[in-house]
């Protein structure tokens, strides 16, 4: 049996971020080294608190959680309380966190960890704006070749955007950071809206999670039922897209996904299309490939995996 994959989750929880963290914590194939938080869905004061609440929920108060950037590199913060609620984790009633917040800044943790661990051994899974990752690359360019891969949730191709007609939220919040990360010549796996919009929390799927009956599963079901109401109204779908856990599921079961190598450029200069991920899906340019862009998912297999793993938690 191969040793577990070393992983850092960079996150702005968010109900779907919470499920991504829980999926990683429930999976022995992964060695979660730490959780870094960033401002995004809600301000940093809430995202770092939410990450710690999730660790508490999973009985992992030992997990190091770090607070990172409280604003994008070059613009004002845009948040998404209209989707995630006032706290970012609206739905269940979660107590104040016991898991401590580490003293170190998230960017320092990223740099130090990537320098300490064997080159190529650490995957970073950013499921929020890419501010912390870009700041780490700016401060320590030597870490870029040491990152095994970045598996991120962000962007859109044929699905367009979910915060503007052209832009997906995570990229839109800090397009400059995204542009720097995509230009850094690090292996990237990209989970855009094209794939996450196929991973819908239908009533049956949410009921299967609730049916596990554990503390964690009940809280997740409460989160999903709150979270999905926005997308059900917006898209007229049965359930909402479970975006962020696709990154962790890829690490566990890449056979559940399909995609192709593409060039991805980030728009940073246009008011109309700010934060757009310009994905050369049809290879119409000679720009070099810089990301494996995922376009399809076995959604039943994905939810089977999520449900099976959540059942392992308290």
Residue that wins the pLDDT comparison between 1 and 178: 178
- At residue 64 the predicted structure's pLDDT band, cuts being 50, 70 and 90, is very high
pLDDT at 137: 98
The yes-or-no verdict on residue 3 having pLDDT over 70 is yes
The mean pLDDT of 218-244, rounded to a whole number, is 80
pLDDT at 82: 80
d(CA 116, CA 153) in angstroms, rounded, equals 26
pTM here is 0.96
Fold (CATH) for 5-310: Inosine-uridine Nucleoside N-ribohydrolase; Chain A (3.90.245)
- pLDDT tens-digit series, residues 90-108: 889 999 999 999 999 999 9
β-strand pairing of 277-279 with 147-153? unpaired
| Whether 269 contacts 205, CB under 8 Å | no
Q: What share of the chain is helix, strand, coil (3-state, %, to 5)?
A: 40, 20, 45
- pLDDT tens-digit series, residues 217-226: 999 999 998 8
Domain ranges of the chain: 5-310
The yes-or-no verdict on residue 239 having pLDDT over 80 is no
3-class secondary-structure state, position 154: coil
- At residue 86 the predicted structure's pLDDT band, cuts being 50, 70 and 90, is confident
Catalytic residue among 84, 105, 197, 243: 243
The mean pLDDT of 197-204, rounded to a whole number, is 93
Report residue 115 as tokens.
Answer: 């320098």
Q: Is residue 197 annotated as a catalytic residue, yes or no? A: no
């Amino acid at each position: 049996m191969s040793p577990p994959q070393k992983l850092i989750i960079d996150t702005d929880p968010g109900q779907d971020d919470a499920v991504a963290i829980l999926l990683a914590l429930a999976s022995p194939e992964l060695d979660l080294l730490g959780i870094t938080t960033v401002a995004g869905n809600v301000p940093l004061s809430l995202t770092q608190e939410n990450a710690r609440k999730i660790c508490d929920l999973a009985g992992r108060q030992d997990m190091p959680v770090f607070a990172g950037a409280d604003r994008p590199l070059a613009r004002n913060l845009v948040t998404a309380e209209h989707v995630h609620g006032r706290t970012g984790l609206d739905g269940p009633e979660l107590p104040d966190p016991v898991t401590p917040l580490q003293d170190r800044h998230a960017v320092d943790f990223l740099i130090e960890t990537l320098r300490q661990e064997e080159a190529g051994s650490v995957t970073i899974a950013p499921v929020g704006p890419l501010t912390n990752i870009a700041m780490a690359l700016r401060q320590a360019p030597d870490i870029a070749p040491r990152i095994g891969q970045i598996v991120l949730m962000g962007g859109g191709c044929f699905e367009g955007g979910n915060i503007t007609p052209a832009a997906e939220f995570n990229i839109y919040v800090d397009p400059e950071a995204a542009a720097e990360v995509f230009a850094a010549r690090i292996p990237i796996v990209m989970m855009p809206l094209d794939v996450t919009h196929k991973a819908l929390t239908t009533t049956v799927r949410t009921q299967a999670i609730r049916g596990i009956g554990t503390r964690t599963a009940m809280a997740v079901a409460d989160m999903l039922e709150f979270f999905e109401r926005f997308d059900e109204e917006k898209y007229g779908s049965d359930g909402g897209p479970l975006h962020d856990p696709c990154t962790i599921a890829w690490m566990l079961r890449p056979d559940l996904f399909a995609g192709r190598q593409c060039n991805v450029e980030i728009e940073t200069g246009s008011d109309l299309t700010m934060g757009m991920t310009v994905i050369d899906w049809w290879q119409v340019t000679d720009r070099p490939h810089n990301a494996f862009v995922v376009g399809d998912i076995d959604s039943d297999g994905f939810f089977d995996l999520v449900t099976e793993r959540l059942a392992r938690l308290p």
